[in-house]
Homo-oligomer: A and B are copies of this chain.
Amino acid sequence: MGAAEQAAEERDEWAGVTPDAARRLVSAAVRAFAERGYHATTTRDIAGRAGMSPAALYIHYKTKEELLYRISGIGHEKALRIMEAAAGAEGGPTERLRDAVRTFARWHAEHHTTARVIQYELQALGAEHYAEIAGLRRRTDRLLRQIIQDGTDSGEFSVDDVPGTTLAVLSLCVDVARWFSAEGPRTPDEVGARYADLVLRMVGARP
C-alpha cells in the first residue's frame, strides 16, 4: 500500500460504501455504536448524525442490524487482509509474527472506534450474519496459529500450547480496541511495536 493510498484510507475508511448517503450512515452508525453500544443506539441518533431524517436510513438499509452487519463484514475483512499480508510475507516465523502483531494491534488502535464495534457488538448480529462473520474470524485465527506453529516446528519459538497461545495473542491485540484512546499517551505505532515485542517474548523467540 502506497502512502497516498494509506492516507486516503485514513481519511475515509468507508470509501468502498456507495452512494454517499449510505457511507455517511455507516460512518455515523459506527461512531454511535462505539460510544453507546448497539442496543443503546437509536435509529434516530444514527440518522441525526448523518444529517438525515430517521426514515432515510431505511432507503439504504433494511434494518438497523443490517448496518451492524455491513460494518462487521467490512471491518473483519480488513482485519483478515492485514493478517493475510503478514502471514504471506517473506521471512521466517519471527519476522512474520512481529509483522502480524504489529500491524494487527496497530489497526485496532488506529481504528479503535470501528474495532470496538466489530469485536464487542458481535452478539447483536442475527444468527446467520453472526455465523458468516465468525467464519472470517476463524480464518484470521488460523493464519496466526500457522505462523506460531511454523516457529514452534522450526525451533525458533518454544510454545507448549499453540492454540492457547494463539488465542491469548489475538485476545491481547483485539482488546486494544477497548482501552485505546486517541487522547492517551500512546500512538498506534507505539502500541503496535510494543505489542510485537511482548508477543515475541510470549512465544520465546530469540533467546
With A171-B178, A179-B167, A179-B171 known as contacts, the answer to whether A124 contacts B37 (CB < 8 A) is yes
Q: Do A186 and B164 touch across chains, with their CB atoms under 8 A apart? A: yes
Q: Which of B123, B124, B198 contacts A202 (CB 8 A)?
A: B198
Q: For the complex, give the distance between the alpha carbons of A161 and B168 in Å.
A: 20
Chief secondary structure at chain A's binding surface:
helix
State the oligomeric state as a number of copies: 2
- State whether the Cβ of A100 lies closer than 8 Å to any Cβ in chain B: no
A168's nearest neighbour on chain B, judged by CB, is B198
Closest to A36 in B: B123
Q: Is the CB of B40 within 8 A of A124?
A: yes
A43 interface residue, CB < 8 Å from B? no
Which of B120, B161, B194 is in CB contact (< 8 Å) with A194?
B161
Q: A107 — which chain B residues lie within 8 A by C-beta? A: none
Q: Is A201 an interface residue (CB 8 A)?
A: yes
Most B CB contacts (10 A, CB to CB) among A39, A174, A186, A204 go to A39
- Does A182 count as interface, using CB distance less than 8 angstroms? no
Chain A 170-181, CB within 8 Å of chain B: the 1/0 string? 011011101100
Chain B residues near A36: list those with CB within 8 A. Answer: 123
A39 interface neighbour in B40, B161, B164, B198, Cβ under 8 Å: B40
24 contacts between A and B (CB under 8 A): A36-B123, A37-B39, A37-B123, A37-B124, A39-B39, A160-B194, A161-B194, A164-B186, A164-B194, A165-B194, A167-B179, A168-B194, A168-B195, A168-B198, A171-B175, A171-B176, A171-B178, A171-B179, A172-B172, A172-B175, A174-B175, A175-B175, A175-B178, A201-B202
